């Protein structure tokens, strides 16, 4: 990490009672999935700093603090040792000096220390529980510090008491916002930084720059995601495997072997693409993609569920017609192979489930619907058997649908969320018929080796446009 002077860095101490979502706020605003988030109260027992950085430049810092639990006793001490408002910040410092080693106030001292050292305050409450007067002691203590502050109402289970909290908090804090750490979109996170820049003039310029850097970084994430997805689809459309077959040797086992190699390669490529997209959005702690996502072959890839990822039959016929394909196969791309063929072949690939093919017969049957077989004689005797590239018109749409669904979920996910990704919505329903036809022509040219650089750039531009749309809502 690039070294920076802490006193010149905007920093925010996230404070409040235990189990009110402080660590979730930190994880979201720092874009850091290493922040420990636990269901039990009091899981944060020490102060930990999380720098928000892009390309080695630290933009600001979030400080996760223990929950304050003895605020009434602390406030009573402050009130007995201070007679005027001007002396209140000094009284808080004096308390820390005198009670810094007092185990009774250990959590309060750890929470207040970064504040008296210059951090701003982000006070967090749970909007799903009623406002209570017993919270006012800790809010008053934070007001005594004299530091810039804002309060966030984090609706952990519901929003029943959000308005009540906003009214109560407004009497103690300069700015109050409802902020769901698990669902806050990118723009709402940037809004908080802008707000804090208005609260402290010294931070206005660095936080304005932070917003600019984060906006540029967001665009880069979408651009590079689009390049990765376009690369995956291009490889899926052009990849082939081959194997020499000695004269007199049976071809069927070799066909099974080649089909299995074909699947394993594209399984690996899809996994690599997903992992790299996750890393672009600063996710390093997710489980392996196949485990982190709700991939269930029985649910997603039976014939009645196949269209979840690609195009339905009407859409597919329109797309194939635009690309010059013939429904049912025979002169280019295959349309009717999409149900039986890809359930046996692509289902295994797209679900990320390896293993041997059940039988040579089924392998050949399914593989015939996904890609082309070709046999060429070898001068020294025997044949060279090759498999690929893909000929199924729905194949690239399935790759695109799965990749776009994954990108959407990753890019809209906050770093406070630790549950598995749920892939349950039709992936390409938002495409217009015009876009589907346009894609089918692009895919067919890529498949046939025509105008490949131009078509690859066109595909990347289209995918980037759709990636950026996740932020348009």
Quick: pLDDT tens for 54-110. Answer: 998 999 999 999 988 899 999 999 999 999 999 999 999 999 999 988 999 999 999
DSSP track, 161-174: THHHHHHHHTTT-S
Quote the pLDDT of residue 380. Answer: 67
Order of all β-strands in the sheet with 57-64: 48-54, 57-64, 11-16, 120-126, 149-154, 175-178
Per the CB < 8 A criterion, the answer to whether 254 and 361 are in contact is no
d(CA 115, CA 16): 13
CA-nearest of 324, 351, 367 to 423 is 351
How many domains does the structure of the chain reveal? Answer: 2
- pLDDT of amino acid 240: 93
**Contact partners, residue 132, CB within 8 Å, separation at least 6:** none
> Which residues have C-beta within 8 Å of that of residue 99, sequence separation ≥ 6?
105, 109
Is 254 in the same domain as 181?
Answer: no
Q: Which residue has the tokens 């102060």?
A: 47
Q: Which residues pair with 244 in a beta bridge?
A: 384
- Separation in Å, CA 272 to CA 17, 32, 269, 290, 352: 41, 21, 5, 11, 11
- Could you report how far apart the first and last alpha carbons of the chain are, in Å? 34
**97 plus 232 within the same structural domain:** no
Task: Round the average pLDDT of the chain to a whole number and report it.
Answer: 81
Same domain, 167 and 275: no
Is residue 142 assigned to a domain? yes
Residues 257, 179 share a domain: no
Residue 1 falls inside a structural domain: no
User: Which residue reads 């776009």 in tokens?
Assistant: 404
List, for residues 201-249, the tens digit of each pLDDT value: 899 999 999 999 999 999 999 999 999 999 999 999 999 999 888 888 8
- Cβ distance 376 to 382 under 8 Å? no
372 in Cβ contact with 321 (< 8 Å): no
Mark whether 360 and 456 lie in a shared domain. Answer: yes
24 and 124 housed in the same domain: yes
Weakly modelled stretches of the chain, pLDDT under 50: 1-6, 41-43, 288-306, 326-367
Give yes or no: residues 270 and 322 share one domain.
Answer: yes
Same domain, 314 and 462: yes
CA–CA separation, 359 vs 236, rounded Å? Answer: 24
Question: Mapping DSSP to helix (H, G, I), strand (E, B) and coil, where does residue 219 land?
Answer: helix
Neighbouring-strand partners of residue 150: 122, 175
Q: Is 249 part of any domain?
A: yes
Q: Does 211 map to a domain?
A: no
Which residue is listed with tokens 């700015």? Answer: 175
Instruction: Residue count of the chain, please give it.
Output: 473
Nearest CA to 386 out of 397, 376, 398 is that of: 376
What integer pLDDT is reported at residue 289 of this predicted model?
37
- Token digits for 356? 């041997």
207 inside domain: no
Point out the domain boundary residue: 169, 199, 229.
199
Three-state DSSP class for residue 64? strand
468: phi then psi, degrees, rounded to nearest 5: -70, -20
Last residue of a domain, one of 199, 231, 246: 199
Residue 248 within a domain: yes
Same domain for 142 and 237, yes or no, is no
- The answer on 251 and 157 residing in a single domain is no
Query: What pLDDT, on a 0 to 100 scale, did the predictor assign at position 359?
Result: 38
Residues 144 and 227 in one domain: no
Cβ atoms within 10 Å of 145's Cβ, excluding its own = 19
Three-state SS at 266? helix
Same domain, 266 and 300: yes
Q: Which of 132, 102, 175 is nearest to 20 (CA)?
A: 132
Which pLDDT score is estimated for 306? Answer: 47
Burial class (CB in 10 A: 0-12, 13-18, 19+), 203: buried
pLDDT at position 368 is: 53
Tell me the C-alpha to C-alpha distance, in Å, between residue 337 and each of 54, 329, 368, 394, 459: 46, 8, 8, 9, 24
Domain around 149: 6-199
445 vs 382: CA distance, rounded Å = 32
Assigned domain for 206 exists: no
Lookup: tokens for 185? 């979109």
Among 141, 166, 199, which residue terminates a domain? 199
Structure token digits, residue 275: 């992992």
What is the Cα–Cα distance from 392 to 372, expressed in whole angstroms?
9
pLDDT at 423: 65
Q: Is residue 77 part of a domain?
A: yes
- Under a CB-based contact definition with an 8 Å cutoff, are residues 192 and 29 in contact? yes
Give the CATH number for residue 97.
3.40.50.300
The span from the CA of 260 to the CA of 363, in Å, is 8
């Amino acid at each position: 990490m690039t070294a920076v002077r802490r006193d010149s860095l905007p920093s925010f101490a996230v404070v409040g009672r235990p189990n009110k979502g402080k660590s979730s706020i930190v994880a979201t605003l720092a874009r850091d999935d290493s922040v420990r988030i636990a269901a039990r109260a009091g899981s944060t027992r020490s102060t930990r700093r999380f720098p928000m950085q892009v390309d080695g430049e630290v933009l600001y810092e979030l400080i996760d603090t223990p929950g304050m639990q003895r605020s009434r006793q602390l406030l009573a001490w402050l009130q007995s040792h201070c007679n005027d408002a001007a002396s209140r910040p000094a009284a808080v410092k004096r308390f820390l000096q005198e009670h810094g080693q007092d185990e009774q106030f250990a959590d309060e001292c750890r929470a207040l220390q970064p504040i008296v050292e210059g951090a701003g305050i982000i006070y967090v409450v749970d909007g799903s529980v009623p406002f209570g007067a017993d919270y006012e002691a800790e809010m008053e203590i934070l007001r005594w510090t004299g530091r810039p502050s804002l309060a966030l109402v984090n609706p952990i289970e519901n929003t029943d008491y959000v308005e009540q909290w906003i009214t109560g908090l407004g009497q103690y804090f300069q700015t109050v916002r409802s902020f769901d750490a698990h669902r806050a979109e990118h723009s709402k996170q940037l809004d908080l930084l802008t707000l804090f820049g208005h609260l402290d003039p010294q931070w206005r310029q660095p936080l304005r720059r932070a917003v600019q850097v984060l906006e540029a970084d967001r665009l880069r994430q979408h651009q590079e995601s689009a390049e990765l997805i376009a690369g995956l689809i291009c490889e899926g459309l052009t990849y082939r495997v081959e194997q020499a077959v000695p004269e007199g040797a049976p071809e069927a086992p070799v066909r099974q072997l080649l089909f299995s190699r074909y699947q394993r390669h594209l399984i690996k490529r899809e996994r690599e693409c997903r992992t790299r997209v996750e890393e672009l959005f600063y996710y390093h702690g997710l489980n392996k993609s196949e485990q982190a996502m709700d991939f269930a072959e029985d649910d997603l890839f039976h014939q009645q569920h196949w269209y979840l990822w690609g195009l339905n039959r009407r859409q597919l016929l329109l797309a194939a017609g635009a690309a010059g394909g013939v429904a049912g196969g025979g002169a280019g791309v295959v349309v009717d192979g999409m149900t039986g063929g890809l359930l046996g072949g692509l289902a295994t690939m797209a679900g990320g489930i390896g293993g041997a093919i059940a039988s040579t017969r089924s392998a050949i049957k399914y593989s015939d619907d996904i890609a082309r077989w070709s046999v060429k004689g070898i001068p020294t005797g025997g044949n060279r058997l090759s498999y690929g590239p893909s000929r199924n018109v729905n194949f690239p749409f399935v790759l695109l649908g799965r990749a776009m669904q994954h990108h959407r979920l990753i890019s809209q996910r906050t770093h406070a969320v630790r549950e598995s990704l749920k892939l349950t919505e039709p992936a390409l329903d938002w495409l217009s018929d015009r876009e589907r036809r346009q894609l089918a022509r692009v895919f067919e040219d890529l498949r046939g080796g025509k105008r490949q650089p131009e078509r690859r750039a066109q595909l990347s531009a289209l995918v980037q446009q759709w990636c950026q749309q996740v932020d348009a809502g």
